[in-house]
Amino acid sequence: MLTLYFAPGSSSMAAHIALHEVGAAFESRPVLLGSKGTRAPEFLAINPRGKVPTLVVDGHALTEVAGILFYLARAYPAAKLLPDGDPLQEAEVVSWMSFLASGVHPARSQGLEYAQGIWALAEQRLGGRDWAVGDRYSIADIHLFRLFWRFGSSLKPDPAAFPGLTRHHDRIIQRPAVAKTIEIEKAIGYALPA
- Domain limits for position 68: 2-78+177-188
Residues 53 and 85 in one domain: no
Question: Dihedral of the CA atoms 69, 173, 11, 54 (nearest 10)?
Answer: -50
Residues 151 and 87 in one domain: yes
Residues 125 and 88 in one domain: yes
pLDDT digits (tens, 9 = 90+) for 129-175: 999 998 999 999 999 999 999 888 888 888 889 999 999 999 999 99
Residue 194 is predicted with a pLDDT of: 46
Residues 68 and 135 in one domain: no
CA distance 119 to 101: 13
Residue 155 is predicted with a pLDDT of: 82
Mean pLDDT in residue range 105-117: 90
Residues 11 and 74 in one domain: yes
Q: What is the CATH classification number for the domain harbouring 43?
A: 3.40.30.10
Give 60's Cβ-side CA count (13 Å radius).
Answer: 6
Residue 34 is predicted with a pLDDT of: 66
Residues 67 and 105 in one domain: no
In 3D space, the residue among 193, 149, 190, 154 whose CA is nearest the CA of residue 8 turns out to be 190
pTM of the model: 0.94
CA distance 65 to 15: 6
